[in-house]
Amino acid sequence: MDGDPVGPRPRPLSTAPGPDATAPPERPRVVLGVAGGIAAYKACEVLRGLTGAGCDVTVVPTPAALNFVGAATWAALSGRPVATSVWQDAHEVPHVRLGQEAHCVIVAPATADLLARATHGIADDLLTNVLLTARCPVVLAPAMHTEMWEHPATRRNVEILRERGVVVLEPASGRLTGADSGPGRLPEPRAIVAAVQDVLRRRDRPATMDLLGRHVVISAGGTQEPWDPVRFLGNRSSGRQGVELARTAITRGAIVTLVAAHMDVEAPAGAMVVRTGTAEELRSAMLAAAVDADVIVMAAAVADFRPAAVGEHKIKRSDTGEGASLPLVQNPDILRELVTARGGSSDPVIVGFAAETGDAERDVLSHGRDKLARKGCDLLVVNDVGAGRVFGEPDNEVVIIGQDGTQTPVARADKATIADAVWDAVVRRLPPDGRVT
């Protein structure tokens, strides 16, 4: 709970114009619920992030939350009156109106007590009344001590809420109240804001929890292969597309393991993150995580080669004479290994990425089809990275090709939209029980 939040700044939210095309677009209406935990002070940063992203935010703290942060703080940061009681402005029926009018309800922090009351439909304060009347997406960001998070009652409550379509983010691991450390820490505020933005981005399409309960394993970022203690061979992958795949999977109900190589962006709230550096480390982590996966997505940019030997000391110019040579060896083909490891069945669905450039003889898509045939994965997301395109950019343009001959072009869009297109293609290949037969 210490330090300032890190990560990308909130991006402005696009909204559809109203009936009068000349009128300013409607601002997304968000209810920010705050339960009575020490992490309530971090909700101030969540509020600033949401308002900075263009949201119209009404704060609904529980009575216990007001022991940590006063109503005047919430009013000053939101620019709106704070809703604290079902009896406040009773003529406006706030316990019904707030839930009915909201485009999203986010509770941060959501304590063990709040999760229990939400699960069982107890409405003994304004916030729990809002949760019962809301017909919009609901996002809960838990924060509590590890023992409380891991208690069977809490785990069952989370399971029930997710079955109902509530997005319950996995808490982060780290310093808790006092000297304790472990899972139960509130996710970083900017990551919570990004999750809300992802939900709001899809508010014009039907609510979709079509990955509910599926274990999704995603690799992201670029591997770094050491040459000596200070140098490495790497690539320009930012990890942005893998992170958007993870974030959108979480808000569509999935349980996400993110195997992260070097990334320039922070991991999304709710993902279990496994940090790796080299291709060999990423390979080991992916094979371990894939054991019970329903979907595997290899979005990481894995180096094809690594130095044959790693110097124990920094290699100096004087050590190489007039020139230097760097013998290379091939790295393992992780995508092919993951396909082979499933024993020839189609369980789980496996998605690969192909960052290609055309040449004098063949175009990008031809190279992609060849790669799909070689790797044996179910889907391949092909994109053109020639002339410095894609890497680190917020937008992309891809073609999703399948072993069944399907070919789905996705026009240039932000990488969150690209991620949704990938998940749409995956869901069409998942049976109702979530396991491929």
Check: CB of residue 360 under 8 Å from CB of residue 388: no
Q: What is the pLDDT of residue 140?
A: 97
Phi, psi for 181 (deg, rounded to 5): -145, 140
Low-confidence stretches of the chain (pLDDT < 70) are: 1-25, 89-91, 93-94, 205-207, 317-323, 343-346, 358-360, 386-392, 433-437
327 Rama class: left (phi>0) / alpha (psi -120 to 50) / beta: beta
For residue range 362-376, what is the model confidence (pLDDT) as tens digits?
Answer: 778 888 899 999 999
Calculate the alpha carbon distances from 150 to 102, 160, 256, 334, 360 in Å. 31, 15, 18, 33, 58
pLDDT at 3 (0 to 100):
38
Give the pLDDT score at 434: 46
Would you call 383 a catalytic residue per the annotation? Answer: no
pLDDT at 324: 74
Phi first, then psi, for residue 46 (nearest 5°) are: -60, -45
Choosing from 157, 235, 383, 396, the catalytic residue is 235
| The residue to which tokens 């304790």 are assigned | 180
Per the CB < 8 A criterion, the answer to whether 144 and 158 are in contact is no
Q: In terms of CATH architecture, what is 29-201? A: 3-Layer(aba) Sandwich (3.40)
Q: In the prediction, which pLDDT does 233 show? A: 87
Hey, where are the domains in the chain? 29-201, 215-308+327-427
What pTM was estimated for this model as a whole?
0.83
Do the domains 29-201 and 215-308+327-427 sit in the same CATH topology, yes or no? yes
Domain 215-308+327-427 has CATH 3.90.470.20: no
Q: What is the SS3 assignment for 135-202?
A: CCCEEEEECCCHHHHHCHHHHHHHHHHHHCCCEECCCEEEECCCCCEEEEECCCHHHHHHHHHHHHHC
